Amino acid sequence: MTEVTGAPADVLHTLFQSDQGGHEQVVLCQDRATGLKAVIALHSTALGPALGGTRFYPYASEAEAIADALNLARGMSYKNAMAGLDHGGGKAVIIGDSSKIQGAEREALLLAYGRFVASLGGRYVTACDVGTYVADMDVVARECRWTTGRSPENGGAGDSSVLTAFGVYQGMRASAQHLWGDPSLRGRKVGIAGVGKVGHHLVEHLVAEGAEIVITDVREESVRRILDKHPDSVSSVADTEALIRVEGLDIYAPCALGGALNDDTVPALTASVVCGAANNQLAHPGVEKDLADRGILYAPDYVVNAGGVIQVADELHGFDFDRCKAKASKIYDTTLAIFDRARTDGIPPAAAADRIAEQRMAEARAS
């Protein structure tokens, strides 16, 4: 396989394939003084400046980092379109172990990264993602004004996981309305895989409504925190493999990393609905049809988890929590519209969501 700028030919092929990629721009960033290696991918700016977070992750290779950036950027185009935002899709990845790069070394690296983002002149607006935090965005913002997800002390909105969880909750309510004719989740058994930044907020919404909740997480302290707070309404299982097989499960909520729905997990699912916060839940094309064939209703991840991006986009115009929450509450109506489109067109909900998003982007390009 021919290597070009460190990226295998198949990665570059994906970049220029309109059906899989169609990306406008990819920037490879390197700063030798700080050790920064990063990829900034802009999939589309048809609706406005590309908006998406910065992932800080120890990729096995540069090619893997590029592929992830391309995939995540494309997903952000669809997410922002379905959220009704005037933003295209972009994503950045920094190659490295976020947990091990701290202090002055981390600060210098993030400042260098901020200079690369600034060099794009506003075509890309960055924010937090896996491995980056509000404090990191405060550092990046010192070199780049096109930064959001900052702390309230520095003019930002702070943690976006609150509204991300609220949006997923609205997606669950819409799923219940579509499938059972009632948006109430009272008495429904909901399994949540991952109760970290987003998942633990989701638990609170479900507890307040009277749902029965089963949780799991690779971090025992995260599980213990919730069990101690809600001993009567929340129980736990050992791992995700056990969770997807829980008897009588109504809703399964993947809230950790992507790829949760695959050839092994879909046949084992006991839930009637999948609605969670994790990005890129479908491990490969065709999984959405496998879910539909089993009669499992899938609420597209990039639709229901858009509360966070709604918040960081609003921050660019002077953050107002009530305004953001009102926008995030519309995820309920958007999810119902997707289910209706899927039924009308005879396609899975994931395909219906893609069609609606692609239509909005096409109309913007044509105008």
Q: Would you name the residues annotated as active-site residues?
A: 91
Which residue shows structure tokens 């950027």? 73
What stretch of H or E contains 170? Answer: helix 161-180
Strand partners, 214: 191, 235
Q: Compute CA distances 205 → 119, 208, 260, whole Å.
A: 41, 5, 23
299 with 273: CB under 8 angstroms? yes
3-state secondary structure 24-61: CEEEEEEECCCCEEEEEEEEECCCCCEEEEEEEECCCC
Provide CB contacts within 8 A for 256, sequence distance 6+: 193, 194, 196, 199, 217, 218, 240, 278
List Cβ<8 Å contacts ≥24 apart for 107-111.
107/139, 108/33, 108/34, 109/31, 109/34, 109/35, 109/36, 110/136, 110/139, 110/140, 111/34, 111/139, 111/140, 111/142, 111/143
184 with 203: CB under 8 angstroms? no
251 with 172: CB under 8 angstroms? yes
Which residue shows structure tokens 């396609």? 347
